[in-house]
Amino acid sequence: MNRAIVELCKLHPFDGHPYKVQDDEEMEALTESVKAYGVMSPLIVRPLEKNRSEYEVVSGHRRMRAAEKAGMKTVPAFILPMDRAAAAIVLVDSNLHREHLLPSEKAFAYKLKLDALKQQGKRNDFTSRQDVGKSESADQVSETESGRQVQRYVRLTYLLPELLKLADEGKISLTPAVYLSYLSKEEQRLVLEEMERSDCTPSVGQAYQLKEQSVKGGLARDFVTALLCQEKANQKERLKIPMERIRKFFPASYTSAQMEEEIVKMCEARYRKRAAMER
């Protein structure tokens, strides 16, 4: 491992880098830290195959961006000669500890590492078939999540970008998103159009039905419309009133349910009075 000072103009993001580098509040804080103290933790880079005087960033994309924003021309870096598969594994592992990873980031990170493990297995002529199978297993991808969970996240890479964005925003949870990933691109587009038209998202049960119908014979627009238009308990329109605004109008012993019942009764009485005046 060689430690060096590398010019920023000679650094390139890792091709297919799965983690988002956003100019958000955390980036602003990191930039201010870099301005004050410099880049405290060196980046990890590898020489490019086509131009050994330039480098691909393996670990440190956010630090590189912060250094750019801080106006720096160089950064400290460890230069590690390694192939793409080894670099991909280091890249994924060096970021999986972050607290707020988006579903899309995990999805593409897990896929990148799984593909790299498979590539390493194919290249190792001295590895037995049994060992190759282990190296390619999804169980080897994450130390904190099972191979099955890893595979579920990898399924998200088959989603349309618009649906994956909804998963990142928390508008579609993981399980429905996984079911939707089994639909063809045309079917996903059909579902997305109905979601936008009806302003709804599929529940777990609905997403499962969409997947099953797709397997049986494909999705028709009428089926998608009828299914997604079904009212779901978690999507019923509700009125929320802060408790501090109404608590003083009720006895201290009243529960939320009792207060709700009283409010409904008052609304009904007001409605009947107004209806009588309009006759």
Q: Note whether residue 95 is domain-resident.
A: no
pLDDT of amino acid 241: 80
Model pLDDT for residues 177-203, shown as the tens digit of each residue: 999 999 999 999 999 999 999 889 999
pLDDT of amino acid 195: 94
Q: Note whether residue 88 is domain-resident.
A: no
Please check whether residues 171 and 230 belong to one and the same domain. Answer: yes
Domain end (from 143, 158, 173): 158
Please check whether residues 211 and 175 belong to one and the same domain. Answer: yes
Q: Note whether residue 39 is domain-resident.
A: yes
What is the residue whose two structure tokens read 């797709």? 214
Helices then strands (H, E): number in the chain? 13, 5
Residues spanned by the domain of 205: 160-235
* All residues at 6 or more sequence positions from 142 whose CB lies less than 8 Å from its CB, including other chains: 96, 110, 149, 150
Structure tokens at 202: 């599929």
Q: Is 24 exposed, middle or buried (0-12, 13-18, 19+ CB in 10 A)?
A: exposed
Please check whether residues 140 and 173 belong to one and the same domain. Answer: no
pLDDT of amino acid 136: 57
What is the pTM for the complete model shown?
0.74
Q: Note whether residue 89 is domain-resident.
A: no
- Distance (Å, rounded) from C-alpha 171 to C-alpha 161? 14
Please check whether residues 2 and 48 belong to one and the same domain. Answer: yes
What is the residue whose two structure tokens read 């590539």? 119
Name the pairing type of β-strands 74-79 and 2-7. Answer: antiparallel
Q: Is the CB of residue 94 less than 8 Å from the CB of residue 44?
A: yes
Q: Note whether residue 131 is domain-resident.
A: yes
* All residues at 6 or more sequence positions from 171 whose CB lies less than 8 Å from its CB, including other chains: 201
Amino acid residing at 118: K
Q: Note whether residue 87 is domain-resident.
A: no
Helix axes 185-198, 161-168, angle to 10 degrees: 50
**Residue 154 exposure: Cα atoms within 13 Å on the Cβ side:** 18
- Distance (Å, rounded) from C-alpha 216 to C-alpha 187? 13
pLDDT of amino acid 51: 83
Q: Note whether residue 37 is domain-resident.
A: yes
Please check whether residues 146 and 178 belong to one and the same domain. Answer: no
Amino acid residing at 89: I
pLDDT of amino acid 132: 38
pLDDT of amino acid 236: 52
- Distance (Å, rounded) from C-alpha 164 to C-alpha 161? 5
Q: Is the CB of residue 241 less than 8 Å from the CB of residue 217?
A: no
Model pLDDT for residues 86-117, shown as the tens digit of each residue: 999 999 998 888 778 899 999 999 999 999 99
Q: Please tell me whether residue 257 adopts helix, strand or coil conformation.
A: helix
Name the pairing type of β-strands 11-12 and 55-59. Answer: parallel
Please check whether residues 61 and 106 belong to one and the same domain. Answer: no
Task: Enumerate residue ranges in the chain where pLDDT < 50.
Answer: 125-135
- Number of domains comprising the chain: 4
pLDDT of amino acid 129: 43
Beta bridge partners of 75: 6
What is the residue whose two structure tokens read 């460890």? 78
